[in-house]
Structures are given as C-alpha cells and as structure tokens.
Amino acid sequence: MTNSMVVKKFEKIVGKDNVLSEREDCYPYSFDVVEQGQDVRVPDIVVLPENKLQVQEIVRFAAQQNIPIVARGAGTNQVGSCIPSRNGIVMHFSKMKSIIEIDENNLNCTVQPGVIVGDLQKEVESRGLFFPPDPSSLAVSTIGGAIAQSASGSRHFKYGGTRDYVIDLEVVTADGEIIHTSSKTQKNVAGYNLTQLFVGSEGTLGIITEATLKLIPKPDVRRILLAFFDDLKDSARAVEAIIRHRLRPCVIDLLDEKTIETIEDFSHSGIFRSAEACLIIEVDGTEIDVADQIQKINNVCGDYNVSEIKIAQNQEESDKIWFARRQAFSAVTRLNFDVVAEDLVVPPSKLVEMVRKIQEISRKYDINIAIMGHSGDGNLHPHFSLDLRDEEQKHRYQLAELEMLDYAATLGGTITGEHGVGVVKKPHMTLVNDESNLKFMRMIKQVFDPKNIFNPEKIL
C-alpha cells in the first residue's frame, strides 16, 4: 500500500485537517528536546486523533498494514522515546486534551492523554485537591507522556511519582481492542497489575487513550528554603541529616556551582548567589507544621556549615525560585550547541561519591557538566554541555556517559530515575538488568505487541 493510500485512509478516519503528510509538516515530529546527533527519522505521516474510536481504527489499520506507531505528547522527552526509530506514523495527542471528570467524592480524576500536567494541577488545586507529580516540563508536557515515561520530579521525595497516582488506564491494544487495566477504585487486586506494566512502557505495549488518576487533599501552605554551602560535601551531609532527623520536606533539590551560576545568568532572578552547592528545600503541610519543619531544617543546615539561608517570604518569591529552577535545562542550552540532560540514581547516602565522580569525569573528558537533581531521592541530572556535531567531542561524551552510568550502577543505583530508556539509554540497560530481566521484558513486549508496531526499537 502506498503512502498516499494510507494518508487517504487516515483522512477518512480523522478528517483531512488531522493528517499531516508533507515532509516539512512532519519534520518537527522527528525530534524531542534533545537531538543528541541521532539519525533524524521523519515520520511518513502524523495523525491527530480526536477520540478513542479513531485511535482504535488507526491502530487496527496500522496493525494490518504493519505500520509502526509512535505516540507523542508535547515531545519534551529527552531519550528519544517519542520520535520514530523507523519511518511510520506519529500519533499526536494534541486534540485529546479533555479533563473528562474530576470526581471530588472519590478523590480521582479521569483525563485524556493530551492534558497538560500543569493545567491539570491548576484545575484540581482550584478545588482543594492535589496531583503531586511535577516534571520540570509540566508547563507544556502531557499526562499521557508522564504516564508513558513514568515521570516524576522534585516532589517525588515526599509524594512519589506519576506511577503512584495511576489508578486505571484505558488502552488500545495491538489487536485493536479497547481495554481498561483496572477499575476506578483506589484498591483492586483482581489479577496481575497490568496498569503498572503500561506505566513507564514508553508507548511500546499499547496506546493510552484515557487515565484515571488518584488525587489527594492539597496541602494548606508551601514554603521554600534555599541553603547555600561553600562545600558540596556539607550540602550532601545536610541532606543526609534531614533524612536522619525524619523530617519530611516535599523537595530536596541540589544544584552545583555551575548550575547555580548558569541559572542566575539566564534568569537574573537575584535569588541565587555563588556557592559550591545550593539546596532548594520545599516544605508543605499545615501552616504550623511548615513553620516547624522550616525551623528544624534551618537548624540542621546550620550544623553543616551553611553559608547562607534564604526563606521565601511569599508565593511570589517561591514562584520565582521554581521558575528559575525549572529553566535549568534551557539555561544550560545557552552554554553550547548541545545539552544532554542525564538522569541517574544512587542511594542518597552515596550522593557525594557520585557528584565527585561526575566532577572527575568532567575534568577527565574535558566536558562542561552542570549537576542538579533531586538529592532526597539520590536522583541526579548532570547536564552535559557540548557540541555533538564534533565527532571527537561526541566520542568523549559517550565514554564519559558510560563511565558515569557504570559508576552509578556500581553504587547500587540505576541508569534512569525518571527520563526513561528510549533509544538513548538502551545500550546501557545491561548495566542494571541482567539477561533474565531483559528476556522477560522482551517476552512481555511480545505478549502485548507481537507484530512490533508500537514504538519499535525503544527500551529493548
């Protein structure tokens, strides 16, 4: 079947306006936020379904014709999960972005995959409810993408990630059935946990067309404390002490010197000052509890040679800090032609070791690396700033990346905490998965997608 016949078929399903097939229209869908010098694969067709029945019809047709389908939200992924590895179609969810229901009596909401995470948060928070997962990209990234990638963010330390809030998924399977993985209740153990198989499966097992998410009551207040340290080691010891003192901030993010400077250069927030490390600590809860925790955290930081503490005095100041923090990636992109935001996890007690290793790798391979991350979870995002068009630099980067991920694995950590595997981390899967695990994963893929039409060549 020729491409134009496929286009005609899709136009019949979703309407002419919802099918793109000109190369220049499809080109933007051959990237995520990091290009990393990969081969560009422009999709043959981009299709924008408006409802689940259209998704079902497209999947049935694609399966019959062996056409690969890559589901895509806002394209903020950093490991190539949402871009085609082969030609085929990209299914873009920008037209399925309804919040179908916010069920205040049963503490859940049901949404289409194209809903923007930040929009959902605003909507539920306006009703006194809370959806905690907060990927840095939340102003543009979609809930479908967050589920597919098992995204989390700064608040994971207290609240967990997207996967902890997914109750039920509606999925179009490879044989074109529409299934629900569970019920809309908070508890359900009637069979294997299909829900959590689809969460984090990066679109390789089925297409999510609807999700029911758990909501919790919104904390009364939030407050941010910034702690600057002249010695990175002190900041890590402060993180450990906060954990050891059984304090429970929602966020304990760490920024190294390079990150602090880069963010401040970019945002001119006037908030960040030069220091070897800065902790962004956010506490939420009741007014009294927050005041109490802030005081205790203040004291703990004092025990570890903090050089300065700033406490946000109001929402505006907090917003300013978050805005600057969430621009970290954009800020680093200004430093060079490319930026690669890495993602690794180590036990929090190994943070100093890991950061020192990254700094050593930075010197050894002569690559600028800005380190930031969610230190309470031991989840670091070293941002490599370089020019990947330069083959020699690219080679150095690859060696540096491997050495870094290998070291994280050696410390009992892992190669990705929230960005996913996609194509970028695929070669490193064996660092943390032995052959049996990979064999099971390949067989699971085979169970759900025997013809390999869903996002082929990703993860495995």
State how far the Cα of 153 lies from the Cα of 138, in Å rounded to an integer: 9
Which residues fall within 8 angstroms of residue 16, CB to CB, at 6 or more apart?
Answer: none
- In this structure, are residues 133 and 143 in contact, taking their beta carbons and an 8 Å threshold? no
Pairing of strands 89-92, 45-47: parallel
Note whether 285 binds a copy of itself by CB under 8 A: yes
What's the min distance (Å) between Cβ of 334 and a copy of itself? 28
19 vs 421, beta carbon nearer a copy of itself:
421
Question: Minimum CB separation from a copy of itself for residue 343, in Å?
Answer: 9
**Rounded to whole angstroms, how far apart are CA atoms 42 and 47?**
13
Q: Does 302 bind a copy of itself (CB under 8 A)?
A: no
416 binds a copy of itself (CB under 8 A): yes
Does 443 bind a copy of itself (CB under 8 A)? Our answer is yes
Q: Is 156 in the site for a copy of itself (CB under 8 A)?
A: yes
Binding residues for a copy of itself restricted to 165-194, rule: CB under 8 A: 173, 175, 177, 179-194
Contact assessment for residue 403 and residue 363, using Cβ atoms and an 8 Å cutoff: no
Angle 249-413-80 (CA atoms, 0-180°, nearest 5)? 95
Question: Rounded to an integer, what distance in angstroms lies between the CA atom of residue 420 and that of residue 77?
Answer: 8
Specify which residues 309 forms β-bridges with. 227
* E strand segments, 7-131: 19-20, 45-47, 69-72, 89-92, 99-103, 108-111, 129-130
Selected binder of a copy of itself within 292, 317, 390, 406 (CB under 8 A): 292
Touching a copy of itself, residues 83-122 (CB under 8 A): 103-107
Q: What is the distance between the alpha carbons of residues 341 and 258, in angstroms, rounded to a whole number?
A: 14
* Smallest distance from a copy of itself to CB 39, Å: 23
- Nearer to a copy of itself among residue 181 and residue 267 (C-beta): 181
Q: Please tell me whether residue 209 binds a copy of itself under the rule CB under 8 A.
A: no
Counting Cα atoms < 13 Å in the Cβ hemisphere of 226 gives: 24
- Residue 48 or 124: the one with the smaller Cβ distance to a copy of itself is 124
Q: Of 258 and 419, which has the nearer Cβ to a copy of itself? A: 419
- Positions 32 through 91 that interact with a copy of itself (CB under 8 A): none
Instruction: Tell me which residues in 373-402 interact with a copy of itself (CB under 8 A).
Output: 377-379
Question: Which member of 118, 433, 452, 457 binds a copy of itself (CB under 8 A)?
Answer: 433
Rounded to whole angstroms, the Cα distance separating 426 from 415 reads: 10
- Binding to a copy of itself (CB under 8 A): which residues in 312-371? 345-349
Stretch that binds a copy of itself, among 17-25, 144-152, 257-265, 362-370 (CB under 8 A): 144-152
Which residue's CB is nearer to a copy of itself, number 89 or number 238?
238
User: Could you tell me which of 86, 83, 76, 65 has the C-alpha nearest to residue 3?
Assistant: 65
Q: Between 139 and 178, whose beta carbon lies closer to a copy of itself?
A: 178
Alpha helices in 22-116 (DSSP H): 23-26, 52-65
Rule CB under 8 A: is residue 441 a binding residue for a copy of itself? yes
Residues 236-265, interacting with a copy of itself (CB under 8 A): 240, 243-244, 246-248
Q: Give the nearest distance from C-beta 321 to a copy of itself in angstroms.
A: 23
Shortest Å distance, C-beta 353 to a copy of itself:
13
447 binds a copy of itself (CB under 8 A): yes
Q: For residue 196, state whether it binds a copy of itself (rule: CB under 8 A).
A: yes
Beta bridge partners of 19: 47
Question: Does 289 contact a copy of itself by CB under 8 A?
Answer: yes
Q: Please tell me the distance from the alpha carbon of residue 113 to that of residue 51, in angstroms, as a whole number.
A: 10
Identify which range of 17-25, 215-223, 332-340, 357-365 contacts a copy of itself by CB under 8 A.
215-223
- Give the interface size with a copy of itself as a residue count (CB under 8 A): 89
- DSSP characters over 201-224: STTSS-EEEEEEEE-EEPPSEEEE
DSSP string, 39-54: PP---SEEE--SSHHH
**Interface with a copy of itself, residue 218, by CB under 8 A:** yes
Closest to a copy of itself by CB, 21 vs 195, is 195
CA distance 234 to 239: 9
Q: Which of 13, 199, 250, 271 binds a copy of itself (CB under 8 A)?
A: 199
